[in-house]
Amino acid sequence: MSETASSFRENGGVRGWLGRQPIWVRWLLILAGTVAAFLLPYAEHVPLIGPQIVTEGVDWSSALFEISYYVLLALGLNVVVGYAGLLDLGYVGFFAVGAYGTALLTSPDSILYEDTGWKWLMAVPVALALTMVAGVLLGWPTLRLRGDYLAIVTLGFAEIIRIVATSTTTLRGDRGFASIPHPPGSWGGEPIFGVTDAIPYFWLGLVIIILVILGVRNLDRSRVGRSWLAIREDEEAAEVMGVRTFKYKLWAFAIGAFIGGLGGVLFAGEQSFINSQTFVLQFSILVLAGVVMGGSGNMAGAILGGVLISYIPNRLRGLSVGDTDLYEYRFALFGLAIIVIMVLRPQGLIPSRRRAMELKDREKEVAPQ
């Protein structure tokens, strides 16, 4: 028994097995996985397992929608942290810019409403362009800094966005923006994206996630992805070998910002209300925790991480051990999880193979203590 298990591991585990299957088996499995993901809102009807999965304290379809934008954020942050190796602690800033961009262009509470008053779909490209500009604006001065300084400056960026959102009259602080329009479309006279049912939003999120996965995958396999890899492993060596490190780091930042902005736009469209309380700093750290837990540098890992950080707290909501409500402890638990994972399994739950090798390599170079 143990022998087969170890030989299974030596042959690359699940991924190795998947790699040996003929192409049609792989496609079939991917298709089955996608269909299963789309059917998740109906999970409670599955006998035995279903009721265990479904969240109790929160509406299941809303919980699923939350998962979808967390996964988007995790995928975006994975580009910045996992691929390019830049620690961005203010990722929620881009999420906020996307959401606020949408709100400013569409909400009746906005000062721009008289001039614009756009529909959701019209606001999307503008809001996304805005987040990319924000990414470049933040990256332009800061990406020349050393890695650890970058972390602090990005943290500051998110904090400034929050302070601006709280303190300026244009962004309305606590009062926020209400009546942000939902995405368009109707089915048999009824609007598809309504107020009560979150399932269509989840599906929309899934579609966006799939597009993002395809896009990022192609990027990763291109010249850009190889440059990111080189920068992550050794920035100075990469520079010497002719990789234009600054340019590609800026690319990573802008693409990460774009994906974060997508999450924000989607979020604004579903919630239809945002205010300055929505974008707390713990949020960025939570997403980072997800990426690291899942396995940074690997999209499957990032997705798993995104699912975990949004699903576990919602599943915990309403559950209690003794007198303590576990939901209260969610951030503390994630903090602990980050430490434990970095200490015991720094490559994450589903590691990127190359990244695991990099870590192993460094272990060999330990100097005397």
Partner 1 sequence: MDFSGLINDFGPLTVTGLAQGAIIALFALGYTLVYGVLRLINFAHSEVFLLGTYACLIVWGWFGLDQNSAPPSVGGMLLYMAVGLLAAILVSGLAALTVEVIAYRPLRRRNAPPLAFLITAIGASLFISELVGVATHRNQKGVPPIILAKPVVTIGDTTITNLQILIIVLALVMMFALDRFINGSRLGRGIRAVAQNPDSAALMGVNKSRVIALVFLLGGLMAGIAAVMYDLKIGVTRYDAGFLLGIDAFTAAVLGGIGNLRGALLGGLLLGVLQNYAAGLFGSQWLHAASFVLLVVILLFRPTGLLGESLGRARA
* Strand (E) or helix (H) holding 324: strand 324-325
When asked if residue 189 is in the footprint of partner 1 (CB under 8 A), the reply is no
Q: Which is closer to partner 1, CB of 88 or CB of 270?
A: 88
Query: If binding is defined by CB under 8 A, does position 329 make contact with partner 1?
Result: yes
Asked if 270 and 74 count as a contact pair (C-beta separation under 8 A), the reply is: no
Q: Which of 63, 77, 89, 252 binds partner 1 (CB under 8 A)?
A: 89
53 binds partner 1 (CB under 8 A): no
Smallest distance from partner 1 to CB 213, Å: 24
Give least dist CB 360 to partner 1, A: 10
Q: For 171, which DSSP code? A: T
The 10 Å Cβ neighbour count of residue 325 is 15
Residues 283-322: x where in contact with partner 1 by CB under 8 A, - otherwise, as a string: --x--xx--x------------------------------
Amino acid type, 273: F
Q: Residue 299, exposed/middle/buried by CB under 10 A (0-12, 13-18, 19+)?
A: buried
Give the number of other Cβ atoms within 10 Å of residue 49's Cβ: 10
Q: Of the two residues 148 and 236, which places its CB atom closer to partner 1 in the complex?
A: 148
Restricting to residues 137-166, name those near partner 1 by CB under 8 A: 141-142, 145-149, 151-153, 155-157, 159-160, 163-164, 166
Q: Which stretch binds partner 1 (CB under 8 A): 58-66, 222-230, 280-288, 303-311?
A: 280-288
Between 182 and 330, whose beta carbon lies closer to partner 1? 330
Cα atoms found within 13 Å of the Cα of residue 319, Cβ hemisphere only: 15
Residue nearer to partner 1 on the CB measure, 195 or 344: 344
Q: What is the C-alpha to C-alpha distance for residues 100 and 88, in angstroms, rounded to an integer? A: 20
As measured in angstroms, the least distance from the Cβ of 330 to partner 1 is 8
Among 3, 114, 323, 363, binds partner 1 (CB under 8 A): 363
- DSSP annotation string for 197-244: --HHHHHHHHHHHHHHHHHHHHHHTSHHHHHHHHHHH-HHHHHHTT--
Mask of contacts with partner 1, 63-82, x by CB under 8 A?
------------------x-
Q: Which is nearer to partner 1, 121 or 337 (CB)?
A: 337
Collapsed DSSP state (helix, strand, coil) of residue 107? coil
Both structure tokens of 299: 């999209």
With contacts defined by CB under 8 A, name the span among 199-207, 213-221, 313-321, 342-350 that binds partner 1.
Answer: 342-350
247, 238 in Cβ contact below 8 A?
no
For residue 107, what are its two tokens? Answer: 């909400």
Token pair for 288: 């980072």
Residues 211-270 that bind partner 1 (CB under 8 A): none
Whether the CB-CB separation of 259 and 303 falls below 8 Å is answered with no
Residue the block writes with tokens 């994906």: 259
Residues near partner 1 (CB under 8 A): 81, 85, 87, 89, 141-142, 145-149, 151-153, 155-157, 159-160, 163-164, 166-167, 281-282, 285, 288-289, 292, 328-329, 331-332, 334-339, 342-343, 346, 358-359, 362-363, 365-369
